[in-house]
């Protein structure tokens, strides 16, 4: 038995497969990022994501669109009924109610109305 | 079989590496030649052909980064590269085994590599390569890849794999016999 028959066959297979491998067009001129740089990049990315999330939270819509067919609204503040003030939109179409407006309606400071929600009553709203 | 003592010292690549290290010339030729040799060794190490370019590129990047520390007094450039490649191939093998264990733990069969062109996958050379490398143990595969395919000396292989030169020769002899028996068995079918 030829002892090198298997090795020769392996070498031939290696050469044939190696000839089919894609050749990288670019030699390794640049070094890969070092570990410290990689950590710094990851930390920067996390910080940027956190900042973007905070800005998105700050810029969340604080105004509620009231459908145009609603004529009468009243407010609930922090889950409780506000004073029974009634507000009627002056013009037709969608009306935006901002916290500032809501505070004017219910006569409370703006800080307490930031969580105001618009409740749309069916009927029987006190005028 | 080539007599290890009669092998060419391969100083040409080493000299070129030293020149690149010292900034005397551009490294494009050096890396191109090194890439071709590393691809052959990686294939013989049993690295899947589709992963070979990535692993070889990784080795070249590591070599490029640490080239200023290359000392020709401690061995040839080829041996230095081969030692890096063996480490990367071991990591790759461990990663594959870990992934298989994880898949087995979740009761799923390994999906293996992504489906590829069947005609490409079914080339005879790839199948032969996979069959022959699978017949060897991890240590035999490393020794065959470096000693027989990579044409490194027994001393260089011993340094890369952490064994003695006599051990390298002995393992290479066993591997040659194993492969020869496999080849004879296939021819007999």
ipTM: 0.75
Q: What distance in Å separates the CA atoms of residue A99 and residue B125, rounded to the nearest whole number?
A: 74
First to last CA, chain A: 109
- A53 touching B (Cβ < 8 Å): no
Nearest to A74 by CA among A123, A9, A110: A123
Q: Say which of A15, A24, A31 has its CB closest to residue B53.
A: A24
Q: Which residues of chain A have pLDDT under 70?
A: 1, 23-35, 60-127
- Determine the residue among A1, A4, A8, A10 to mutate to test chain B binding: the one whose Cβ has the most chain B Cβ atoms within 10 Å: A10
Mean pLDDT of B132-156: 88
Residue B185 has pLDDT above 90, yes or no: no
Residue of B nearest to A5 (CA): B180
Q: Is the pLDDT of residue B154 over 50?
A: yes
What mean pLDDT is reported for chain B?
80
| Contacts (Cβ under 8 Å, ≥6 apart) of B36 | A18
Looking at residue B111, its pLDDT comes to 53
DSSP assignment, residue A26?
A: S
- For B157-180, b/e burial (b = at least 16 CB within 10 A) is bbbbbebeeebbbebbebbbebbb
* pLDDT of residue B3 exceeding 90: no
- Identify the pLDDT of residue A24: 63
Query: Between chains, do A6 and B178 touch, taking CB under 8 Å as contact?
Result: yes
Chain A residues inside the 8 Å CB shell of B57: 24, 28
> How far is the CA of B159 from the CAs of A58, B7, B49, B87, B147, in angstroms?
61, 17, 26, 12, 12
**Chain A, nearest residue to B147 by Cα:** A7
In chain A, the residue whose alpha carbon lies closest to the alpha carbon of B57 is A28
Q: Name, of A28-32, A41-45, B77-81, B134-138, the range with top average pLDDT.
A: A41-45
Task: Please check the confidence at residue B31 and state whether its pLDDT lies above 90.
Answer: no
């Amino acid at each position: 038995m030829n002892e090198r028959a298997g090795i020769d066959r392996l070498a031939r297979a290696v050469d044939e497969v190696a000839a089919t491998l894609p050749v990288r067009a670019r030699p390794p001129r640049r070094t890969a990022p070092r570990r410290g740089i990689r950590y710094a990049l990851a930390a920067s990315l996390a910080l940027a994501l956190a900042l973007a999330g905070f800005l998105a939270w700050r810029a969340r819509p604080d105004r509620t669109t009231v459908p145009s067919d609603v004529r009468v609204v009243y407010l609930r503040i922090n889950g409780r009924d506000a004073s029974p003030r009634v507000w009627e939109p002056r013009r037709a179409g969608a009306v935006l109610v901002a916290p500032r407006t809501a505070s004017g309606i219910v006569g409370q400071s703006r800080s307490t109305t930031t969580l105001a929600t618009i409740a749309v009553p069916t009927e029987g709203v006190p005028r | 079989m080539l007599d290890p003592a009669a092998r060419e010292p391969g100083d040409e690549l080493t000299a070129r590496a030293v020149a690149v290290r010292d900034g005397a010339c551009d490294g494009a030729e050096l890396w191109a030649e090194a890439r071709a040799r590393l691809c052959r060794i990686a294939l013989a190490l049993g690295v899947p052909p589709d992963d070979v370019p990535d692993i070889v590129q990784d080795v070249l990047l590591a070599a490029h980064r640490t080239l200023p520390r290359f000392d020709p007094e401690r061995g040839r450039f080829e041996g230095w590269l081969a030692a890096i490649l063996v480490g990367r191939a071991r990591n790759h093998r461990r990663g594959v085994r870990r992934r298989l264990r994880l898949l087995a733990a979740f009761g799923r069969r390994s999906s293996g590599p992504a489906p590829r062109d069947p005609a490409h996958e079914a080339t005879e050379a790839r199948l032969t390569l996979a069959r022959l490398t699978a017949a060897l143990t991890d240590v035999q595969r490393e020794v065959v890849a470096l000693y027989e395919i990579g044409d490194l000396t027994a001393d260089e292989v011993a340094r890369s794999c952490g064994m003695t030169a006599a051990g390298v020769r002995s393992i290479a002899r066993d591997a040659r016999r194993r492969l020869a028996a496999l080849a004879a068995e296939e021819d007999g079918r």
